[in-house]
Amino acid sequence: MTATELDHIALLRRAIAESRKAREGGVHPFAAILVGPDGEVLMTQHNAYMPDHDMTGHAERVLMTRASTTLPMALLKDCTIYTSAEPCAMCAGAIYWAGLKRVVYGLSEHAMKQITGNHPENPTLDLPCRVVFAAGQREIEVIGPMLEDEAAAVHEGMWG
């Protein structure tokens, strides 16, 4: 399966569904999945904020730590991360350092900031991941925002 054959819509919907599961489990409604070049889901991760209140426990960052410590770099360079919301600057950095090829996301950071406002548990940085990646020395393909209404629906009533 080639990158153009990956079903971005279906895989992103899976990440959004995982974000819904995270919320139902009492965790902030964010999730990410790591997909190999053949379309196989290799790992899934929800936010790890609770129970220790780890403000760096974002789904993408935790997933990149897990992936980069257990999977070969040769595989990671052909992987795609699907995220329910655009990776923040911290998570974009983790994705860059893990060596991924592509990011596909639902809700943009700008839209996320509009939803959360200045909530103390999610002080959103309105900094597109494309800007973070552009400062790097290798290209990371970015696709998104996509399915923004579906991704936003998971956050309804969460941050008010």
Convert the pLDDT of each residue in 45-56 to its tens digit. Answer: 998 866 677 888
For 9, the token pair is 């819509």
Rounded to two decimals, what is the model's pTM?
0.93
Range name among 25-29, 34-38, 71-75 with the lowest pLDDT average: 25-29
Residue 143: beta bridge partners?
104
pLDDT level of residue 160 (50, 70, 90 thresholds): confident
156 is catalytic: no
List Cα–Cα distances, 128 to 15, 90, 108, 144, in angstroms: 19, 11, 8, 10
Q: How do residues 139-149 score in pLDDT, each as one tens digit?
A: 999 999 999 99
Selected catalytic residue, list 18, 24, 40, 60: 60
107-141 pLDDT, tens digit each: 999 999 898 888 888 788 889 999 999 999 999 99
User: Which stretches does DSSP call E strand in the chain?
Assistant: 31-35, 41-46, 80-85, 102-107, 141-143
Residues above pLDDT 90, as percent of the chain: 75
| pLDDT tens per residue, range 63-95 | 999 999 999 999 999 999 999 999 999 999 999
Cα separation of 86 and 93, whole Å? Answer: 12
Tell me what the pLDDT averaged over the chain comes to: 92
Q: Return the pLDDT at 30.
A: 95
Q: pLDDT class for 103, splitting at 50, 70, 90?
A: very high
Which pLDDT does position 121 carry in this prediction?
A: 80
